[in-house]
Chains A and B, each alone.
Chain A
Amino acid sequence: MYAYDELDRTLINERVSEFRDQVKRRLSGELTEDEFKMLRLQNGVYLQLHAYMLRVAIPYGTLSSKQLRRLAHVARRYDRGYGHFTTRQNIQFNWIKLAELPDALADLAEVGIHAMQTSGNNTRNVTSDQWAGVAPGEIEDPRIWSELLRQYTTLHPEFSFLPRKFKFAITASAHDRAAIKIHDIGLRLHRNADGETGFEVLVGGGLGRTPFIGKTIKPFVHGHDLLSYVEAILRVYNQYGRRDNIYKARIKILVHELGIEKFAKEVEEEWLQMRGSALAIDDSVIEDIRSRFAYPAYEKLPHMPDELKKAAHDPHFEAWRKNSVALHKVSGYAIVTLSLKPVGGPPGDATANQMDGLADLADKYSFGEIRVGHEQNLALPHVARRDLPALWRSLDKLGLATPNVNLVSDIIACPGLDYCSLANARSIPIAQELTRRFANHDTANLIGRLHINISGCINACGHHHVGHIGILGVEKNGEEFYQITIGGRADENAAVGTLIGPAVPYGEVADVVEDIVEAYLALRARPDELFVDTVKRLGVEPFRERVYATRQER
């Protein structure tokens, strides 16, 4: 866990006071909605279909048990008893009242949580690998650099009025769990040929109306140059990024239109002017940040304790262990992923009772720490393997032990038309039906790793472009239709999926997905060829034929 200092606490508290005054003036009529809108957005407050929505940041996906309990408190006291974890390590409350928002934010501020820059045309919440600091083989903890960027970009005047929103993601592992290639700037910590640690910098990734996979702008940037290089990118974007057309305002469009070589040249010229400036990061700054992350005092524990051997006779426990438990960098410990995708449930939702229960389990079994992943699942990052059976029993009681992580029913979905004022079609009921269709654990295991992503509109909050199967809701003549893409992925081999054919109506989506999965099972070269690899090998045509052969094209 990172411990905020006095400056952070003062900043958050001052922002709450400022927003309290702004809300008061709005409710009295002193501020018009036109004047107030940008102020509320800067504090993560949107207006959705039924109510205001508050989006709260969980920087680099790390939460303490105390913070999770406070989120539960906000859900219970100011909302309807639950929250929705998003694809960018945020949590959203869907039913919050404007008049009560300052109190909710004050309650969150007491535990160092805020909603600053979770909306608006500024640098957003810096996201990272939910296994940061505990993943085997990781170069170093990427949260240290995430925190550096968080401090640097928070309320930075030059980044507060960008042409459009701007998102960073950082990973330090070979396997990318942070989806860095679909971010405005993606950073991959790695070692160069000389054994030095630095960043591969990617730029111009993003989804939405015009999806692009990020391109490498510089293969290696030393850590002490990170801020100056990032600032050079943002300056070029600030200068040349379009402000006349919202659909062309993201940096990905600028990179695409200029070409990565020309864009890189512009950045390089800018960078050379400031490289040795005050933005050069001294080692002591990094060490100071590192020192504020508290790491657990791990014990020396056996990898295969008696408790685990005994529990291995329970097939339900074993199914969960094999699915949801991952190796930890410290022997005797494990990383446990908690699925927020129960059969028939809305993806990413957690009730206040679940949050409180999980906070208690984190205290008991995970040094009081919880992680949030972009797949809309949670994780306990430091669980002693001897405690896994007891933890599983407790998680099961909380409804947090569904053994479907990375399987077909581990669906990423945006709130869709049930909540969102931008959506054209519903996402959640589609996800719910799919989790029912693929509820059988043996079938899901037979299918293997398969990511389904659902977005209720082209803004792509459900990351449908990079789903192995992507589902995009559209509106046709007043009815909900869904376009299906296959072959996308969000990891280190990120790719945008290919449309398989005409959109299908709401009632046929689950059937179509079943057809695609059946086609895959028949076409895969061997049982361990993943869905996405079969699509890469064969292209979309065999899947298209399977889906549309028996359906009339509309």
Chain B
Amino acid sequence: MTSPLEQKKIKITGPSVVTGNRTWDGVVIYRTSARGWSAALSDAAIVRTSDEARSLLAESVADDVGAIGAYIAPVEIKDTGEIKPGNLREHIRAAGVTIDLPVSA
């Protein structure tokens, strides 16, 4: 996993969010603009510049109890305003595995 320190060098090229996993259960979560976390990508704070991204990441990493492994991830903003994951990995994190689980939920 790319560490936040490495990501500090990364310049974002499009809309992005900060994501990580919730500490107590590992669920995928996104940093919100209210300085909290949500399991819904639609609640995520969107950053559009590298400075904004670095700032949001720093704030997120500081919450070591709330989340682990926070990093910047690309998203797409649809014309409708809907936020979509920006790559396959993030799509799978957001939507779940692409296969049927052996046991139905």
Chain A residues within 8 Å of B, Cβ to Cβ: 26-29, 32-33, 47-52, 80-82, 96-99, 345-346, 349-352, 417-419, 421-422, 426, 428-429, 432, 478-480
Contact = CB atoms under 8 A, between A and B. Distances in A.
A410 to B, nearest CB: 17
Contact of B105 (A80, A96, A352): A80
Looking at A28, A50, A352, A421, which has the most chain B CB atoms within 10 Å of its CB? Answer: A50
A78 to B, nearest CB: 11
A478 B87 CA distance: 7
B21 A97 contact: no
**Majority-rule SS of A interface residues:** mixed
A51 B23 CA distance: 9
Looking at B21, B24, B96, B99, which has the most chain A CB atoms within 10 Å of its CB? Answer: B99
B15 interface: no
Given A47-B69, A82-B103, A417-B92, A52 B98 contact: no
A27 B98 CA distance: 31
B101 A478 contact: no
Contacts, number: 80
A51 B64 contact: no
B97 A419 contact: yes
B89 A417 contact: yes
Contacts of B21: 47, 51
A50 B21 CA distance: 8
26 contacts: A27-B23, A27-B65, A29-B65, A33-B64, A47-B68, A49-B89, A49-B92, A49-B93, A50-B93, A50-B97, A51-B25, A80-B101, A81-B103, A82-B103, A97-B26, A345-B102, A349-B102, A351-B103, A418-B92, A418-B97, A418-B98, A418-B99, A422-B1, A426-B98, A428-B97, A478-B88
A62 B71 CA distance: 40
B88 A480 contact: yes
Contact of A82 (B24, B26, B28, B101): B101
Q: Which are the 5 A-B pairs with shortest beta-carbon distances?
A: A81-B103, A51-B26, A97-B25, A418-B97, A52-B26
Contacts of A82: 101-103
**Majority-rule SS of B interface residues:** loop
B40 interface: no
Contact of A27 (B24, B27, B93, B99): B24
Interface residues of B, number: 25
A98 B103 contact: no
A453 B33 CA distance: 44
Interface in B61-101: 64-65, 68-69, 87-89, 92-93, 96-99, 101
Looking at B89, B97, B105, which has the most chain A CB atoms within 10 Å of its CB? Answer: B97
Given A82-B101, A429-B98, A29 B25 contact: no
A99 B24 contact: yes
Contact of B26 (A33, A47, A426): A47
Given A50-B93, A81-B102, A82-B101, 4 more contacts: A33-B64, A97-B26, A352-B103, A419-B97
A47 B69 CA distance: 9
Given A49-B93, A50-B93, A345-B102, A26 B23 contact: yes
